[in-house]
A = this chain, B = another copy of it.
Amino acid sequence: MPRSRTEEEPRSRRSRRQQYSAATRQALVDEATRLFTEQGYGATSLDAVVAAAEVTKGALYHHFAGKAAVFAEAFDAVETRAAERITAALDAEDDPWDKARAGLAAFLTVVQEPEYRRIVVQDGPAVLGYERFRESEERSTFACVTDIVRAVLSSERGLQASWAEDEEMLATFARIFFGALSSAGEAVTTSADPEAAAGRVEAAIGLIIAGLQALVDDEDTRG
């Protein structure tokens, strides 16, 4: 039994008009994401986007400030999905080192996807500007890496050296690992044998981590 129209409607908060509007906006973002991924930002015209979404430029400029704003929306969506997937992989593990391994694998998977590679890695910095690019990164994928590093450093079986409590040193380590993983992911993607390349990356990262553990062990044994 529907309530009075004058009050707020809890079942469907948004009016029909608002729902249509949201659908139009979503269609624009979806088609833009697809075209940006296939052709890149520069080679994609807004005419092509609005044609694919079956609307006109008027609709696009009603919802967005301009071409860059559409891209920003697509960019955020892709980055958010990427971060969510990595986070999900992390949440499936309890042990910090298992988290690290799972996160590494998830990261390597994500950075190989066309949407992420084209929109985030290739066009992101140029279109959004490096500053804004970095901010988005900081909130999503980089945050994942920071979580992993923090988990490893603070675990009982982890690295307990004095620099583990230094927040800035932690950020530095996270930044270094993040760059290493991004670059490594690129190497995996462009490799002729991605499986083998991923194995080498995991082995190399594993060695680096084992090395850090060895340092801690040496400290422990010496007192």
Contacts and interface: CB of A to CB of B under 8 A. Distances in A.
Interface stretch (A9-17, A26-34, A94-102, A177-185): A177-185
Contact of A203 (B129, B169, B200, B203): B169
A200 B218 CA distance: 22
Interface stretch (A49-57, A73-81, A118-126): A118-126
Contacts of A196: 168
Interface size class of A (residues with CB under 8 A): 35 or more
A127 interface: yes
Interface stretch (A58-66, A84-92, A207-215): A207-215
Contacts of A121: 125, 130
Nearest to A118: B130
Contacts of A175: 183-184, 186-187
Give the interface SS of chain A, mostly helix, strand, loop or mixed: helix
A211 B173 CA distance: 14
A204 interface: yes
B183 A201 contact: no
Q: List the 10 closest A-B pairs by CB distance, nearest first.
A: A179-B183, A211-B211, A126-B126, A180-B180, A214-B214, A179-B179, A172-B200, A211-B212, A175-B187, A176-B180
Given A172-B187, A210-B211, 7 more contacts: A41-B126, A122-B125, A175-B183, A176-B201, A179-B183, A179-B184, A211-B215
Interface of A: 40-42, 117, 121-123, 125-127, 129-130, 134, 163, 168-169, 171-173, 175-184, 186-187, 190, 196-197, 200-201, 203-205, 207-208, 210-215, 218
30 contacts: A41-B126, A117-B130, A121-B125, A121-B130, A122-B126, A122-B129, A123-B125, A125-B125, A126-B126, A126-B127, A169-B204, A172-B187, A172-B197, A175-B184, A175-B186, A176-B184, A176-B204, A176-B205, A179-B179, A179-B180, A179-B184, A179-B186, A180-B183, A207-B212, A208-B208, A208-B211, A208-B212, A210-B215, A211-B215, A214-B214
